[in-house]
Amino acid sequence: MTSASKVDALSSPELSVKLFVTDATKVDLEELIPVFHRWIREDLLEDEVAIDVAGYAHVPKGPGVTLICDHAHYAFDERAGRFGLRYRGRRVARGSGKDAIVGAFRRVLRGAALLEKEPALAGKYRFATGRIEFGISDRLLAPSGAETLAALRPTLEAALKEVYEAPAKSIALASGPREPLLAAVEAGASPSVDALLDRLAAVAR
């Protein structure tokens, strides 16, 4: 066993999950700025200390519009040319192992549900759940590579099974060695955002 695989990549707080929108042509990054400001004003992300909104609509394929919180970033980004909502933990690990991954899913799904129901967006934003992106932005604990992914695969699979109630169809490395670790996940099911949230709420009970 090499040193990288011995390291607990999932002890990093920097876990991320991205859900992609179903119709990228409807995306207008600038209209998301007032939406995220309202989230802050109305405390819609109850367990986050939401600080500010960073707007990068002028940067192609960038972080888009990012809601900066004390322990997370919620970015409606366009990385690699694909629009979606990305939750990324920051600073403080929220749970460990499988629970940390499920927690990241819960948070991104909550954000996606808010966007789907956002009155100002009039239902333009819908999220697919069948293909998602999982990542760890921590080059020290989780360097991008097959070895790291292999080491965390069993825990990731267990978490995906808990979220989707079905085993994942595929998990593949989606990042180069100089990038943060990213895995493209094809889930075993593609329920609605609300259905997944309901399921996770039931599991939590």
Partner 1 sequence: MSGGAMKGPSWAEKLADRMPEELRREIDIFETQMELRRRSEVDEKLFAETRLRRGVYGQRYDNGHRYDGERTRHLGYREHPTKGVDTVWDAPGMVRIKIPYGAMTREQMDVLAALAEDYSDGISHVTTRQDIQLHFVHIEDTPDLMRRLAAVGITTREACGNSIRNITGCPLAGVCKTEAFDISPYAEATMRFLLGHPDVQDFGRKVKPAFSGCAHEACGLVNMHDFGYIAKTRSENGKTRKGFAFYVGGGLGAIPHEAQLVSEFVTQEELLPLTQAVCRVFARLGEKENRGRARIKFLVAKLGIEEFRELVFEERAKLPHDPRWTAYIADLPKYKETALKSGAPLPPAKNGEHSSAFRAWYRSNVRPQRQEGYAVVTVKLPLGDITSDQMRALADVAGEFTGDNVRLTVEQNIVLRWIREADLPKLHAALEAIDLSEAGAEGIGDLTSCPGTDTCKLGIASSRGLTAELRKEVAKLDLASDDALKGLRIKSSGCFNSCGQHHIADLGFYGISRKKGNRLVPHFQVVLGGKWTENAGSFGLATLAIPSKNIPEVVRRVTSRFAKERAGDESFTAFIERLGKVEVKSFLQDLTEIPSYEEDPSYYSDWGDPRVYTMDDYGEGECAGEIVPLIEFGLQASEREVFEAQLFFDAGDFDQAKSMAYRAMLTAAKSLVKTEFLDITDDVNHIVKEFRARFHDTKRFHDKFAGAKFANYLFAAHEVSGNGGRQDLARQRVQEAQLFIEAAYACYEKMSTTGAPA
Residue 8 contacts partner 1 per CB under 8 A: yes
Residue 32 contacts partner 1 per CB under 8 A: no
Residue 119 contacts partner 1 per CB under 8 A: no
| Min separation Cβ 36 and partner 1, Å | 10
Q: How many CA atoms lie within 13 A of 73 on its CB side?
A: 19
Among residues 43, 45, 31, the alpha carbon closest in space to that of 108 is found at 45
Applying CB under 8 A, the site for partner 1 has a residue count of 51
Residue 2 contacts partner 1 per CB under 8 A: no
Phi-psi domain of 145 (left: phi exceeds 0; alpha: psi -120 through 50; beta: other)? left
Nearer CB in complex with partner 1: 56/169: 56
Residue 90 contacts partner 1 per CB under 8 A: yes
Question: Regarding beta strands 15-21 and 50-55, do their DSSP bridges make them parallel or antiparallel, or are they unpaired?
Answer: unpaired
d(CA 82, CA 69): 23
Torsion over CA: 31, 40, 98, 189 (sign)? negative
d(CA 200, CA 123): 23
| Min separation Cβ 196 and partner 1, Å | 23
Residue 145 contacts partner 1 per CB under 8 A: no
Residue 51 contacts partner 1 per CB under 8 A: yes
Q: Which residue has the tokens 């207008």?
A: 28
Residues that bind partner 1 (CB under 8 A): 3-4, 6-8, 10-11, 14, 30, 33-34, 37, 40-41, 49, 51-52, 54-63, 66, 68, 70, 73, 75, 77, 79-80, 90-91, 96-97, 137-141, 151-152, 154-155, 178-180
